[in-house]
Structures are given as C-alpha cells and as structure tokens.
Chain A
C-alpha cells in the first residue's frame, strides 16, 4: 500500500520538520527527503495541487468573472490589504490571504503592507520570479558602513549552492561577468525587443558602467532533461504566471521541489496546520516539535522531529519564534541576543520614470514576455560624496501602446476604432528597487493584547523609511530621467513615490545571521546560536537587503543549511 502524503494527526518523531511550503520550505523538504530524512512539511493553509487547482489559469478575460476585476464586497470584506498587490485579481484572489482572518496592526504614524500567500506552495506560486545572486560587495556592505552586522558568509561560501539550486530550478539569463552581480547557471535569456536593444546600445555608449541586461528569471526558456523529467516544459510566454502554470515553466514548490521531494517517498505534508509555537525541552536544550492549531476547526495537535527548519516567511517565522516562550527564553525562543524582530527590511520601489521612443514603427513582438530588463546597481561601491548609503537597481522594459493606452485619445466612431486597432507609440520605463538600511528601530513585535482567530498574538509593525531611503529614491528618479533623456527619449517624466514598506513583498531580516551570538539569532549556516537543532533559512535570516530580488538566495541558503544540518546530525552534534 502506498504511503499517504497528507497527514493530520501523527505521533511519529520525524527526522525533520519543515515549517512552511514556499520557496524556502520547498527546498528544505526536497533536500532533506533526498538525503533519506523522513520529513514533515507543515503548511498553515490548504492544499493547492499542481495543475488541477490553478482555477484561474488560461481563462481569457471575457470568461472571467468581472473580466478579471474583483467584486467590491469581496475586496472590502476580505482583501483590503491584499488588493494593494499588483498580482491581486480575479484569477489569483484565491491564492492571497484573507485579511479578515489575518489581522495585524501598525504603530501609529507608520505603515506596512503585509501581503500573504497562505497555502501549499506559499508565495512560490505568486512571486515575480526574478532571480539574482548576491555579490561580494553586498555581503561586505554592512561591515563597510556599519549599518547592521557583518554577514557571516561571503560569495565563496554560497556560490556552489547557488549553482545547485539554479540547475534544478532553471534560471534564464545572460552571462555578463559583472563585478557585483555574479552570473548564474543560465538557460538562454528571453529576447529583448528592438527598441530595448537600441536603448541598451545607447546606454552602453553613454554609461559604460551601467549595463542594461535581460532580467534573470526562474523560467524554462529551454528546459534541460532534468526539468523535463520533473514534468516541466518550456515557457509558453503567456505572462499569466500568477494564476498558476500547468506547464511548470516557472519555478514553484509545486512544479519543482515538491515533486522531487515526493518522489523519494520520504515526504509527508500536514496542511491546514497553523504553527502556534515550538516545543522546547530545556533539559536537552533542543526543540522537539511544534504546537499546531487546525486552520479550520481550531483544534490543537503536536508534531515531533529531531531537527526543525522554520521557513514560514520572514514575518511568519519570526512570529513563531516570538510566540515560543519558556523560562529560559521569555522573549522568544533562540532570542538570547534580544535582536529577534529587529532590523526588518523590504525593498524600496519608490521611483518611476518613462518616456516615448521615436521610430520602430515596423517593429512588434509576439508572445507575452514574463520578465523585464534590469540595470544592476551601479552604486555598489560606497562613495561618501553620493549623499546616501547603498544603492538601487533599475528594472526596465519597453512596450508598444495598445488599446489600454490609446483609448484615452479624443475621438469617436470608425476613425477612433481604427486608431485603437493599430499599435501606438513605443514607450520605455525605468523603476527603482532600492536597498533599505538594516535599522534596529525597524521592527515587528507581538501585540500585547490582540490575537488572531487561532489564538496567536497579532503582529504590530513599526517600520519607516528614513532620509537615506528617501534621498536614494530622489536620486533614482533624477538619474532615470537624465538617462532616458540622454538616450533620446521624448516626453520623459519621472518622480519618486511614497508607497509603504512591505509592498515590495521582499520582507527581510528579524532573525539575522551573524558571527556573534550576542548580536544575532543565527550562525553562518542559519542555525540558531542558542539551540543546535533549530534553523531559520528564509528571508528572516538576512543581514542586509542588498538590491537583488531575494528568493534565489532563500533557495541557496536553505539547501546549504540542510547539507550542514545533515552533516551535524551524522557527527552527533545535533
């Protein structure tokens, strides 16, 4: 008889528990299972089965309820925060959290947008799939200017793990040999459009230190035998990824890590299991399991394991640690340093600029490319003259105006209809994704009185952008406008904006790594300084945000941490 994957109650002591099933949790489960560990993956939300549960997939707008928009009543009652996410719509709404059930607060005078994907696969189903390695300057940044603590690792520690995860996940991109953006193991890059190539060439001439490259993205532009054996095929360029992809053409837990983990026969999944706290055994100084509240009927149960990996998302993981109190750890488990919850970061997407491109009337494209271009951070070297610390990358892309732009023109009737039918001007835009400094003051904490429906204390955020972030975004807008004008674009406009932290959905920090147990939660292998069999491998472990989209680093850190944990277990140190 086949073993059942999905479990509810179990008294078994698993070799490993992985809390969370998103990008980090999926990788942890795969790596443990492939090393022969009986692994229990715990997911707070329900099951989303690859392919069959992508209910919004491949449904053209005229077949969607409200042509892709979401009904007012539903938004007001359930998605007042989630609606801020660009990817929230009729085809995706079931993959977003229900704000009514997931309340949180912000300290008066502060804002934080917390976007949630609480289901099997987590935000691996909803991510934007941009994948970049961190570079040596990124790992050195905190040490050089003194904000945050020094990363306990450098590129040499992690590069082979980047390669390991990239080969499995499938990353498209171009080799560039850049000083601070290491190349990945690449599948071919997506093509640039003709005006993008022209602007790239113009920038290369005007700003040789600011290359414009194709976005690096976890899409199978040319699947390897390994990918095909996973049941994944080439990206079809629908650009409807957030609704789910039955081709498995973008990396998600469902398309990539879960099938690999399941294939071993070592994987079990406890869905609808909201982790309340970790069970700590003071005598052995080990975590021995987790307390879970059932997502649906609110009943309690426990699961046990020899090693516990917390991969519940940056905020989710730290919430669990904070809510796991004991005599030895009255302020949250593994928090002897007192920095748990502090140094919360996001990326700052608060500068936009765009303009018209003359010409290229005879050029068009086919397919819907699920990625834009990237101008990597050109401020990776510190410079006191700049007036602010750290830097930003610029996302970019061209498009040719369609009906949604052309509808605004004056006119009626046949002439109006025929004008809209034709492709309009080419346009090109740049938007910034800036580094946010790690600051002690930017933090999350458990609310002293408010709880959610599972009886877990709500999170209160106290996070602000400061002058450094503001000056950086003003600079980004200024530089973007200057570059677009210099490249010959017309009607260039741009500005810095004021969207709240959190909305980039790149929450990082709050359980940072570090060499010193007095100032950090985790060591250089994502292992708790205080408790040897406890690991946190998601974004919570970051010491700085850098500017790169962080998911690829979650994958690499997680795979590396599992390898280390298994060796430590074998050496009987765990």
Chain B
C-alpha cells in the first residue's frame, strides 16, 4: 500500500520483459520524447493462464458438457461449418473443445441443452439414413444433412434451423476469436497506432477481426 510520489508520476518503475508486452510498448519511449518510461506494463499472467488452451487430445475423454462421442460429432460439425482451407479450420483449432468449456462456464443450462439436443437430432437423422451415426455418413451425406438443417428443409423445422444457427454462432465465436481465426484468417492489429477513416479495400482483403474491447 505504501508508495511514493514518483511512482504515480510518468516515470513509473520498470516492470517486466514479457515478450508480448515488449511488442505492445514498442516505440513508446520514442513517442514520449525525452521522458524516460521504459517498459511499463506487467504481463497479464493470471488471465493468460486461465484462458482456454486448445488441445489435441480432448477427443480421448469426456468434456464438461459433452461426452467423448458428442465431442467427436461436434468436431466433425465444426470441420464442416468452417473447414480447413489455406488456413486452419474450426476443428483444427479445437473449437469443439472451446465450445464445451465456454458453454459450461458462460452460458445458461438452456443453451447447453439446446446444443445437446441438436447433436442428438443430427445423429438420429443420420440413423434414419441407415448409418449408425453422423460421422459414419459419407462427407457428401454429412454436408447435405447439415445444409438441410441450416435451411430448415426436408425433415427439419424452423426451430431446429434456429438452434443450428445458434450452434453456428458458437462455432464462429470460437473460431474467429481464436489466434488463428483472428490473425491468419482475418486481420488483427493489436496496436493500430491511430485511426484512418479511409483506406482502399478489395474483395480478397480479410475483414478486421475486432472493432474494440466488446466486439
């Protein structure tokens, strides 16, 4: 609690050498001119440690909401909704594992049950096509089934369609807020350096990954 005058003035004490913080503060001293500032910001160790860490082996065990089989199914759905192209897809960045964790911690029971029921629905429709599960269908059949669900066509109704749209939102959130989604598929600039109201855009340019802290 004790501190002296100097520490709350501009020349605060030098803290950390953590790499991302160094990047963040690049150019800081130059901008300040004569004022000696140095590296001023602590790393966010707690937050980083608690962030969801993508895993390659979560398919071997039950998750927090989904059992092993449901995770395998969800992974397959992720890979169909956002497949690998010249960048990794949703399954490769463990979006299924992220959704399991995120639904458990930050969503309502109702949301969790919606996704559970949807997974059951998808498998039961696969069974009606003579397969014993969705993942045993051919790639073409899987794509076809999810497309019908996405459009609420054939055996799917509009409520089921809306539920699938919700799952697509979870997949998109998981993917586009992942490091790969934000920085490789889309564009992310942690410290833009200023705002320019007009820059050229052509159709092949990726969109910005974020507009700020809250979106």
Q: Which residues of A contact B (CB under 8 A)?
A: 2-6, 8, 47, 49-52, 54-72, 86-87, 89-92, 190-194, 196-197, 228-243, 246-248, 254, 258-259, 262-263, 265, 267, 271, 361-370, 399-404, 407-408, 410-414, 416-418, 420-424
Point out the residues of chain B lying under 8 angstroms from A59, CB to CB.
44, 47-48
Whether B150 contacts A410 by the Cβ 8 Å rule is yes
Point out the residues of chain B lying under 8 angstroms from A412, CB to CB.
80-81, 143, 146-147, 150
- Kindly identify, within residues 154 to 186 of chain B, every residue whose CB is under 8 Å from any CB belonging to chain A: 165, 168-169, 172-174, 176-179, 182, 185-186
Given A67-B102, A228-B33, A413-B143; A191-B198 close (CB under 8 Å): yes
The 7 closest A-B pairs by CB, nearest first: A231-B10, A239-B212, A191-B197, A367-B192, A367-B195, A364-B201, A407-B172
Distance from A269 Cβ to chain B, minimum over Cβ atoms (Å): 9
Point out the residues of chain B lying under 8 angstroms from A408, CB to CB.
165, 169
- Closest-by-CB residue of A relative to B146 is A412
Given A231-B11, A416-B81; A403-B186 close (CB under 8 Å): yes
In the complex, A84→B194 CA distance in Å?
30
Whether B185 contacts A2 by the Cβ 8 Å rule is no
Point out the residues of chain A lying under 8 angstroms from B197, CB to CB.
190-194, 196-197, 365, 369
In the complex, A87→B214 CA distance in Å?
7
Point out the residues of chain A lying under 8 angstroms from B82, CB to CB.
416-417
Given A64-B47, A66-B106; A402-B211 close (CB under 8 Å): yes
Whether A4 contacts B213 by the Cβ 8 Å rule is no
Cβ-neighbour of A66 out of B10, B102, B190 (below 8 A): B102
In the complex, A408→B169 CA distance in Å?
7
Given A60-B188, A71-B106; A236-B193 close (CB under 8 Å): yes
Q: List 24 A-B contacts (CB under 8 A).
A: A49-B8, A51-B40, A62-B182, A66-B102, A67-B51, A72-B106, A229-B10, A231-B37, A234-B31, A238-B212, A258-B8, A259-B10, A267-B5, A363-B201, A366-B199, A367-B192, A367-B196, A368-B195, A368-B210, A368-B211, A407-B168, A412-B150, A421-B186, A422-B205
In the complex, A62→B183 CA distance in Å?
11
Point out the residues of chain A lying under 8 angstroms from B210, CB to CB.
61, 368, 402
Whether A66 contacts B105 by the Cβ 8 Å rule is yes
Cβ of B207 within 8 Å of any chain A Cβ, yes or no, is yes
Point out the residues of chain A lying under 8 angstroms from B47, CB to CB.
55-56, 59, 63-65, 90-91
Point out the residues of chain A lying under 8 angstroms from B138, CB to CB.
none
Cβ of B15 within 8 Å of any chain A Cβ, yes or no, is yes
Whether B191 contacts A236 by the Cβ 8 Å rule is yes
Whether A254 contacts B41 by the Cβ 8 Å rule is no
Whether A62 contacts B51 by the Cβ 8 Å rule is yes
In the complex, A422→B78 CA distance in Å?
20
- Say whether chain B's binding surface is mostly helix, strand, loop, or mixed: loop
Cβ of B19 within 8 Å of any chain A Cβ, yes or no, is no
- Closest-by-CB residue of A relative to B16 is A52
Given contacts A56-B44, A193-B198, 17 further A-B contacts (CB under 8 A): A52-B13, A59-B48, A66-B106, A69-B105, A194-B198, A233-B31, A254-B8, A259-B9, A263-B9, A363-B201, A367-B195, A368-B195, A403-B172, A403-B209, A413-B143, A414-B83, A424-B207
Cβ of B110 within 8 Å of any chain A Cβ, yes or no, is no
Cβ-neighbour of A51 out of B12, B186, B208 (below 8 A): B12
Point out the residues of chain B lying under 8 angstroms from A242, CB to CB.
213
Distance from A413 Cβ to chain B, minimum over Cβ atoms (Å): 6
Point out the residues of chain B lying under 8 angstroms from A230, CB to CB.
10
In the complex, A400→B203 CA distance in Å?
13
Whether A63 contacts B211 by the Cβ 8 Å rule is no
In the complex, A242→B212 CA distance in Å?
10
Distance from A2 Cβ to chain B, minimum over Cβ atoms (Å): 4
Report which residue of A8, A194, A366 has the largest number of chain B beta carbons within 10 angstroms of its beta carbon.
A366
Whether A399 contacts B198 by the Cβ 8 Å rule is no
Cβ of B4 within 8 Å of any chain A Cβ, yes or no, is yes
Cβ of B3 within 8 Å of any chain A Cβ, yes or no, is yes
Stretch among B21-29, B60-68, B117-125, B126-134 lining the A interface: B21-29
Distance from B165 Cβ to chain A, minimum over Cβ atoms (Å): 7
Point out the residues of chain A lying under 8 angstroms from B207, CB to CB.
400-403, 420-424
Report which residue of A65, A399, A411, A422 has the largest number of chain B beta carbons within 10 angstroms of its beta carbon.
A65
Cβ of B57 within 8 Å of any chain A Cβ, yes or no, is no
Cβ-neighbour of B211 out of A233, A239, A362 (below 8 A): A239
Cβ-neighbour of A239 out of B203, B205, B213 (below 8 A): B213
Report which residue of B13, B46, B108, B207 has the largest number of chain A beta carbons within 10 angstroms of its beta carbon.
B207
Whether B28 contacts A234 by the Cβ 8 Å rule is no
Distance from B20 Cβ to chain A, minimum over Cβ atoms (Å): 8
- Closest-by-CB residue of B relative to A264 is B5
In the complex, A47→B44 CA distance in Å?
18
- Closest-by-CB residue of A relative to B168 is A407
Whether A365 contacts B194 by the Cβ 8 Å rule is no
Distance from A16 Cβ to chain B, minimum over Cβ atoms (Å): 17
Whether B105 contacts A365 by the Cβ 8 Å rule is no
In the complex, A413→B146 CA distance in Å?
10
Given A228-B35, A262-B8, A364-B205; A271-B48 close (CB under 8 Å): no
In the complex, A259→B12 CA distance in Å?
10
Point out the residues of chain B lying under 8 angstroms from A258, CB to CB.
8
In the complex, A69→B170 CA distance in Å?
13
Point out the residues of chain B lying under 8 angstroms from A3, CB to CB.
4-5
Whether A58 contacts B201 by the Cβ 8 Å rule is no
In the complex, A63→B47 CA distance in Å?
7
Distance from A539 Cβ to chain B, minimum over Cβ atoms (Å): 25
In the complex, A422→B203 CA distance in Å?
6
Whether A61 contacts B177 by the Cβ 8 Å rule is yes
Whether A263 contacts B106 by the Cβ 8 Å rule is no
Point out the residues of chain B lying under 8 angstroms from A259, CB to CB.
8-10
Cβ-neighbour of A413 out of B24, B51, B80 (below 8 A): B80
Point out the residues of chain A lying under 8 angstroms from B33, CB to CB.
228
Given A57-B44, A368-B212; A423-B12 close (CB under 8 Å): no
Point out the residues of chain B lying under 8 angstroms from A370, CB to CB.
212
Point out the residues of chain A lying under 8 angstroms from B12, CB to CB.
49-52
Whether B106 contacts A89 by the Cβ 8 Å rule is no
Whether A366 contacts B189 by the Cβ 8 Å rule is yes
Point out the residues of chain A lying under 8 angstroms from B7, CB to CB.
49
- Closest-by-CB residue of A relative to B170 is A407
In the complex, A242→B81 CA distance in Å?
34
Distance from A53 Cβ to chain B, minimum over Cβ atoms (Å): 8
Whether A60 contacts B182 by the Cβ 8 Å rule is yes
In the complex, A469→B24 CA distance in Å?
45
Whether B194 contacts A235 by the Cβ 8 Å rule is yes
Distance from A462 Cβ to chain B, minimum over Cβ atoms (Å): 32
Point out the residues of chain A lying under 8 angstroms from B202, CB to CB.
362
